[in-house]
Chain A
Amino acid sequence: DTAVSQTPKYLVTQMGNDKSIKCEQNLGHDTMYWYKQDSKKFLKIMFSYNNKELIINETVPNRFSPKSPDKAHLNLHINSLELGDSAVYFCASSHNRAANTGELFFGEGSRLTVL
C-alpha cells in the first residue's frame, strides 16, 4: 500500500496547456510538499501545506497553483505550460511543520514533458 502516491507518473503535453498532478498520502501526516527536480538534478521545494494552510511558497510563478482539499491531499495545477516546466515533480509529506527531523516521505515522482 503506497504511502505517498502521485498521478500521473508520466505526462506529455504541449506548450500552453493546463495540467494537474495529484498527490495523496495515507500516513496521517499534517504537512505536504511539492518539490521540483529539474534537468540539472536540483531538487527544490516549491510549496508546503500544513493542515491545508500554505506555509511555504518559494517564488514559484503564479501559473503554479497548489490546492489542498484536506490534509491527505495536495494537488498541483499548472497553467499555460512552458518548456522550462519540464521536470520531475515530487510530492512529499512529513509529521511536523517544524522540521525538527526533516524526514520527508516522497512519492515516486511525476515526469512532466512539455513539447
Chain B
Amino acid sequence: DQQVKQNSPSLSVQEGRISILNCDYTNSMFDYFLWYKKYPAEGPTFLISISSIKDKNEDGRFTVFLNKSAKHLSLHIVPSQPGDSAVYFCAATTTGTASKLTFGTGTRLQVTL
C-alpha cells in the first residue's frame, strides 16, 4: 500500500526555468510533509517541509505548496540550477508520534544547460 506517491520518475528542466515536482498522498492522518534531496552515493538530505496548517512554505529558491483537499503537494524550484540535479523524495508523517517518515519513490530531476 503506497501511501505517498511520486508518479513522475524523472523530470528534465532547462537551467533558469522552474522545476515542479509533484507528490500525492492517501493517508489523511499525515499532517507534516517534507522534501529530501539525494545525490548519487549519498544519503538523502532534508530540503524543506510544510505543516498541514499552512499551504505554502518558502525557503530561497525552494517553495512547497500543500493542497490538503486534493492530498497533493508540490515542490517548486526557481530558478533551477545544474547543482539541483538529484533525486527528490517526498515524505510524510503524523506529528506527535515517533518519527516515522513514509517516503515516495522519488523523482530524478535533471537540470540541463
Contacts and interface: CB of A to CB of B under 8 A. Distances in A.
A99 B106 contact: no
A22 to B, nearest CB: 15
Given A98-B98, A102-B32, 7 more contacts: A43-B103, A94-B99, A99-B93, A99-B94, A100-B95, A104-B99, A108-B42
Contact of B99 (A31, A40, A41, A43): A31
Contacts of A104: 44, 46, 99, 101
Tell me which of A41, A45, A96, A108 has the highest count of chain B C-beta atoms within 10 A of its own C-beta.
A41
Contact of A56 (B45, B100, B103): B100
Contact of A102 (B43, B93, B106): B93
B89 interface: yes
A4 B95 contact: no
A27 to B, nearest CB: 13
Number of chain B interface residues as a range: 20 to 34
Nearest to A9: B41
Q: Is the interface of B mostly helix, strand, loop or mixed?
A: loop
Interface of A: 4, 31, 33, 40-45, 48, 50, 55-56, 58, 90, 92, 94, 96-109
A92 B91 CA distance: 15
A99 B49 CA distance: 12
Nearest 6 Cβ contacts at the A-B interface: A106-B43, A99-B99, A43-B103, A55-B98, A41-B105, A102-B93
Contacts of A56: 98-100
A104 B94 CA distance: 15
A13 B95 CA distance: 39
B100 to A, nearest CB: 6
Contact of A45 (B32, B44, B100): B100
